[in-house]
Chains A and B, each alone.
Chain A
């Protein structure tokens, strides 16, 4: 039983895979912690300290600091992957994908398909998602629904240290480009994480709680909001099946549909916006393939369709909270 943070769990997955496979390299802004500047090498380990210690173990051939040019270094990582390496590249805030969108969605996502399977892109893009640090509209979005739109990308949204290590291990071993979305409010969460390497398969939802009254599907940090809500509801006698899809592509549609078949009610909790998001996607899935089992309308609990505010009081109103989830579930159960 070893308690580790989300940050440590990610670091362990990187160390484990870099020791196992010499083709695994790291790239990104400050991942080596100031190498190339006047500061101390490996002083920080990325903007949030996730890659600390890797430069000293694996050296500057495998842990590469890059200039602040996502178009350049994401493109270089894609090229390195196509040429045979297995890069893990840090995009930092997922909001910055705007400046390297072509590289990610038109190049990396499409190579295998457009080259008739003669090339592949075993690339992992680590990136931070989520609101809650009052860092405003351009640093707080949750863009996994955008990535999930593109066939050819796999998209992971780990909600816990255990899942982060197991999913990142699978991501690095996977032969397709994977977007690994780290929620910035989860870095200090602790959990029992095995010291050994282990991998979690993609498309396997985590069932966090079993109940017969309602299905709650929640993603990333919203899993913890939903867990708290489910505990409140249980005291009122409402028992929820709580599912965390863990990966949005591939999506474990079977677990979601099976659960709704048993409960007849669905509430989806998503920190991404209400339009064209995972909540809408999952709602559409169940409306199409599980309609006959529904006993109440599907309810989405998401932020409003507005830019994310920086003011702490407004941001707090923006992010779905326990009270909203509890209220939504009461509503579908009473329907």
Chain B
């Protein structure tokens, strides 16, 4: 059972997609899992034959529990061997105690006079592995990576951060430019992670990541639903998001971020509203929007023709905020992954797929 979200303790098997005995390849859909906060599809991370579905549809299982058994391709395993493996696994399996939201507040550090809220997720990988730093999008916060952090942290430490003007970081945003935001994050990295890192950014965060990659050693870069300055973005969305002060005004804008509107829960609307109510937030968002999102003189393709680091681009085909056509038009050296059925929040809606792409990108370029 994967861990999607810091407070996820259990998941429910909704639907097995792969049949028992089927050969599955990396990226094939295995099983649909429902958590408190989402429904997502778990994808295979290595090829093999699904020799046993251990968890049954409707089962509620703790994080880390055995869902099924995959045998390496070309090997024959007997039912007795599978039974033995399952018994051994279950005998030694101890569910972890879930972290509660209260104890999991972000740390704060002051850089260049700004308070920056951030989290370090050491994970289970080698501590010396270069970490992956995740930068959220406009109007969001670091918790928008909650479905990604757990799986990626199996390979390497992960760091998340609230951009200035967002989440629990300071509302001081300078001139609101990506250069300013990247400058603050660079000073933050000097403080907490001076060595080489992998970077991934979503939407506005992609623009900041691109800027950062020009300024310091970045081993690999993943741009999700954003290409930096000049990305084609729906202005109505940006302006509507900034001015919405009430739940009933905000919800229609949040619905546009997703292909599947079930992701827009009461909790999500409330979390975004609470951040927006903090004094000076609207002014900060407006300044960032004007300087970094709505300014369109730049042509992203020219800059991305020779990216500062090995770069992949991930986009949801049904993105209603930043159309996916602009990613489809990109060419090598960039690798481009367009994910069907996902909207702007592609890393939330198809977390498993995006996690696999992020893990592979970092592993290849370590």
Please list the residues of chain A having a beta carbon within 8 angstroms of any beta carbon in chain B.
1-3, 162, 166, 192, 194, 196-201, 204, 207-210, 254-255, 258
Are B279's CB and A198's CB within 8 A?
A: yes
Closest B residue by C-beta to A200: B277
Which B81-127 residues sit within 8 Å CB-CB of chain A?
Answer: 101-102, 104-106
Q: Is there a chain A Cβ closer than 8 Å to B247's Cβ?
A: yes
* Contacts A204-B247, A254-B248; A194 near B278 (Cβ below 8 A): yes
Complex interface: chain B residues within 8 A of A1 (CB): 101-102, 104-106
Complex interface: chain B residues within 8 A of A2 (CB): 105
Are A204's CB and B246's CB within 8 A?
A: yes
Complex interface: chain A residues within 8 A of B247 (CB): 204, 207, 255
Complex interface: chain A residues within 8 A of B246 (CB): 201, 204
B268 to chain A, nearest CB (A): 11
The contact sample of 16 A-B pairs, CB cut-off 8 A, is: A1-B101, A1-B104, A2-B105, A194-B278, A196-B171, A196-B279, A198-B274, A198-B277, A198-B278, A198-B279, A201-B245, A204-B247, A209-B266, A255-B247, A255-B248, A258-B248
Contact flags (1/0) for B9-36 with A, using CB distance below 8 Å? 0000000000000000000000000000
Are B102's CB and A3's CB within 8 A?
A: yes
Complex interface: chain B residues within 8 A of A201 (CB): 245-246
CA distance A208 to B248 in the complex (A): 14
Point out the residue from B102, B248, B266, B278 that lies within 8 Å of A196, measured CB to CB: B278
Contact flags (1/0) for B54-92 with A, using CB distance below 8 Å? 000000000000000000000000000000000000000
CA distance A312 to B235 in the complex (A): 60
A200 to chain B, nearest CB (A): 6
CA distance A161 to B292 in the complex (A): 36
Given contacts A198-B274, A255-B247, 17 further A-B contacts (CB under 8 A): A1-B102, A1-B104, A2-B105, A166-B277, A192-B102, A196-B279, A197-B278, A198-B277, A198-B278, A200-B277, A207-B247, A207-B266, A208-B266, A210-B265, A210-B266, A254-B248, A255-B248
Are B279's CB and A197's CB within 8 A?
A: yes
CA distance A287 to B93 in the complex (A): 57
Which B267-293 residues sit within 8 Å CB-CB of chain A?
Answer: 270, 274, 277-279
Closest B residue by C-beta to A195: B168
CA distance A3 to B274 in the complex (A): 15
Complex interface: chain B residues within 8 A of A197 (CB): 278-279
A271 to chain B, nearest CB (A): 24
A44 to chain B, nearest CB (A): 30
Contact flags (1/0) for B218-242 with A, using CB distance below 8 Å? 0000000000000000000000000
Please provide the 8 A-B residue pairs with the shortest distance between their CB atoms, ordered closest to farther: A1-B105, A198-B277, A197-B279, A198-B278, A196-B278, A210-B266, A204-B246, A207-B266
A128 to chain B, nearest CB (A): 26
Complex interface: chain B residues within 8 A of A258 (CB): 248
Are A199's CB and B266's CB within 8 A?
A: no
CA distance A196 to B274 in the complex (A): 11
Complex interface: chain A residues within 8 A of B171 (CB): 196
A27 to chain B, nearest CB (A): 26
A2 to chain B, nearest CB (A): 8
Complex interface: chain A residues within 8 A of B279 (CB): 196-199
Complex interface: chain A residues within 8 A of B102 (CB): 1, 3, 192
